[in-house]
Amino acid sequence: MNSQNDEWLKKKIWEQEVKKWTSRLNQVKINTEEWHKIYRAYQQSSVWAEKRKQILSRANGRCEGCGVIVVSNSLLDIHHLNYYRVGGNEKMDDLKALCTSCHKKADRKRDNQTDERHRSNHYQNRLRGFALRKYGEEWLYYHDEQEVEIEFITFLYKKHCEECGFDFDPHFDPETDLDFLQFWDSVLDGDD
């Protein structure tokens, strides 16, 4: 086999592995017992080993939280800032190499935020329903969850504006538009 085929094969195997882990993790709810079981298995996988290597190389022997220099890379944990792309699609920005002390703090911070985000099962079910209808079964594999979430809220927001007789500006910025963000909060609270 020539090296081009070799590269192609490696890429295919990688894609298959990522697909396996992302779908296994996405089939169960985040942070549940079952999820942790699969997540621990993922952390033993070749996909995770590669991710870990990339982040450790970026960290270059320092904690990316407090900057402390470590004597060995084994003292650095790779922390997920979020689980949107967990299973092999994590971007470099989703992960950080942290010392034990920073890791503990970071976990607490993330889990508080995740609780906030996941406080409503009703909200999650609606979001999943929207994504399934629009993109089909494998939506999480091919689409960024955050982007789909914004699409979902925009869809509701447009309907809400129409019903209330407000002007809907199709060019609004979902990251800064206060009316939109306030509306988003009300959907999260289940008020809409």
Nearer of residues 38 and 63 to Zn ion, judged by Cβ: 63
CB of 73 to Zn ion, least distance (A): 14
Cα–Cα distance measured from residue 119 to residue 187, given in angstroms and rounded to the nearest whole number: 12
Which class for 102: exposed (0-12), middle (13-18), buried (19 or more C-beta within 10 A)?
buried
Residue 98 pairs in a beta bridge with 77
Nearer of residues 47 and 99 to Zn ion, judged by Cβ: 99
Cα–Cα distance measured from residue 174 to residue 141, given in angstroms and rounded to the nearest whole number: 23
Question: Does an H or E element contain 3, and which?
Answer: helix 3-26
CB of 70 to Zn ion, least distance (A): 9
CB of 78 to Zn ion, least distance (A): 13
DSSP code, position 76:
P
Is 76 within 8 Å of 102 (Cβ atoms)?
no
CB of 100 to Zn ion, least distance (A): 8
Nearer of residues 68 and 156 to Zn ion, judged by Cβ: 68
CB of 105 to Zn ion, least distance (A): 8
x/- mask, Zn ion, residues 55-94, rule CB under 5 A, reads --------x-xx----------------------------
CB of 111 to Zn ion, least distance (A): 18
Q: Which amino acid is at 1?
A: M
DSSP code, position 80:
E
x/- mask, Zn ion, residues 113-152, rule CB under 5 A, reads ----------------------------------------
Coil, strand or helix at 69: strand
Interaction between residue 13 and Zn ion (CB under 5 A): no
Nearer of residues 16 and 60 to Zn ion, judged by Cβ: 60
Number of residues that this document lists for the chain: 192
Q: Restricting to residues 89-118, name those near Zn ion by CB under 5 A.
A: 99, 102
Is 28 within 8 Å of 124 (Cβ atoms)?
no
Q: Which residues sit at the interface with Zn ion, rule CB under 5 A?
A: 63, 65-66, 99, 102
